[in-house]
Amino acid sequence: MATAKSRKKSNTSKEDLLHHYREMLLIRRFEEKAGQLYGMGLIGGFCHLYIGQEAVVVGLEAAAEEGDKRVTSYRDHGHMLAAGMDPKGVMAELTGREGGYSKGKGGSMHMFSVEKHFYGGHGIVAAQVPIGTGLAFADKYNENGRVTFTYFGDGAVNQGQVYEAFNMASLWDLPVIYVIENNQYAMGTSVSRSSSTPEFFTRGEALGIPGEAVDGMDVLAVKEAGERAVAHARAGKGPYILEMKTYRYRGHSMSDPAKYRTREEVQKVRETQDAIEHVRELLLQGKHADEDELKAIDKEIKAVVNEAAEFARESPEPALDELWTDIYA
Ligand SMILES: Cc1ncc(C[n+]2csc(CCOP(=O)(O)OP(=O)(O)O)c2C)c(N)n1
Ligand SMILES: [Mg+2]
């Protein structure tokens, strides 16, 4: 990975840079707040934060068009926000309240929005890969020109069902983009300890699926690669693999002993590769914004997140009779 400072200067427009900056900052501040609420006991159960990986989803959303779909794992808050879901509804789901996307009954890992074409939120590692492939099958069948972004991790990539899905997607030229978010760890297991070949972008080669590795800490590189993948899938040429080299700053979930990597390792990535810092520098260098303007944006985003947190604390708990709705009997 290039460092935040050494990355090439961009000729991206001011509007686009500001958009990426806001979107990534919203995810980071939202996740920081979720971590706080968790610490206060207002969020229970599992909660996996996306801090550090923001450029992946923000860059790919910038390459998507209205109507395109997305499906991901349990590390899903960033994907929802980037898809345009309401921070209030996401935060209220984390606190298990009525105003949440699943009426407080799903929690962090189980939220959906058909309106925003977000299909979850899946707690079973790699389960979303066949689901994303199925969504793409439906789109091809309906000839609607849509593509599906199917996100999964470096741990999930070693699951058998991934290759069954790859085979069908390639056989039927399904419009699906497989996004491997390689944050280098699956819980406490590093890629070098778990994977016989670490070059995940080549995992579709035997099945005829092209792939490329991308600096997932560089939102502009992500967007560019996303556009190539989208063009491929939308043209009817079938699936495409993007391996995003990224890093998570926080623990796997809120309960993580963090014994598998050093503080120095995390600190080094934060200091030299941070995706938000990168865009911040581009904005300042290009004289698109000054420190005061960036501070004002930060303030604005914090207000949105605080409002979401307030809503999530004040929304009532689901009524008892909700126990009997949305279930298979
Ligand atoms: C089938 C299955 N096996 C094990 C688990 C427990 N588990 C939850 S997350 C995880 C690690 C997955 O790592 P990765 O795919 O790299 O995603 P990341 O957490 O890094 O985003 C494991 C083993 C699970 N949820 N489902
Ligand atoms: Mg991982």
pLDDT tens by residue, 231-247: 999 999 999 999 999 99
Task: Write out the two tokens for 4.
Answer: 């935040």
In Å, how far are 43, 90, 181, 211, 319 from 152, measured between CA atoms?
Answer: 24, 20, 6, 15, 34
* 321, burial (CB in 10 Å: exposed 0-12, middle 13-18, buried 19+): exposed
CA dihedral 50, 239, 208, 203 (to 10 degrees): 10
Neighbours of ion ligand 2 (CB under 5 A): 153-154, 183, 186
In a domain, 103, yes or no: yes
In a domain, 9, yes or no: no
Give the nearest ligand 1 atom to 182 CA: 16
CA dihedral 25, 101, 70, 169 (to 10 degrees): 150
In a domain, 319, yes or no: no
Question: Ligand 1 centre from 153 Cα, in Å?
Answer: 8
In a domain, 2, yes or no: no
Computed over every residue of the chain, the mean pLDDT equals: 96
Atom 25 of ligand 1 has which residue's CA nearest to it?
124
Distance of CA 176 to the CA centre of its chain: 16
In a domain, 326, yes or no: no
In percent, the amount of the chain with pLDDT more than 90 equals 95
Q: What is the pLDDT of residues 141-185, one digit of tens each?
A: 999 999 999 999 999 999 999 999 999 999 999 999 999 999 999
Ligand 1 site, residue 79, Cβ cutoff 6 A:
no
In a domain, 3, yes or no: no
Task: Quote the CA–CA distance of 238 and 175 in Å, as a whole number.
Answer: 5
Which distant-in-sequence residues (6+ apart) come within 8 Å of 178 by Cβ? Answer: 129, 132, 150, 152, 166, 169, 204, 209, 211, 239, 240, 241, 242
Run of H or E including 176: strand 176-182
Report pTM: 0.97
Return the half-sphere exposure (C-beta side, CA atoms, 13 A cut-off) of residue 135. Answer: 23
Question: Ligand 2 centre from 189 Cα, in Å?
Answer: 9
Whether the pLDDT of residue 4 is over 70: the answer is no
Helices (H) and strands (E) in the chain, counts: 11, 7
Residue of 125, 182, 184, 193 to mutate, ligand 1, most atoms within 8 A of C-beta: 125
In a domain, 234, yes or no: yes
Q: What is the pLDDT of residues 86-134, one digit of tens each?
A: 999 999 999 999 999 999 999 999 999 999 999 999 999 999 999 999 9
Task: Write out the two tokens for 249.
Answer: 């700053």
Q: What is the CATH number of the domain that holds 71?
A: 3.40.50.970
How many domains in the chain?
A: 1
Task: Quote the CA–CA distance of 12 and 6 in Å, as a whole number.
Answer: 17
* 40, burial (CB in 10 Å: exposed 0-12, middle 13-18, buried 19+): exposed
pLDDT on residue 119: 98
Residue with tokens 């879901």: 85
* Band (9; pLDDT cuts 50, 70, 90): low
Question: Ligand 1 centre from 155 Cα, in Å?
Answer: 6
Whether the pLDDT of residue 8 is over 70: the answer is no
| Domain ranges, residue 98 | 14-314
Ligand 1 site, residue 123, Cβ cutoff 6 A:
yes
Q: By the 8 A CB rule, do 314 and 43 touch?
A: no
In a domain, 179, yes or no: yes
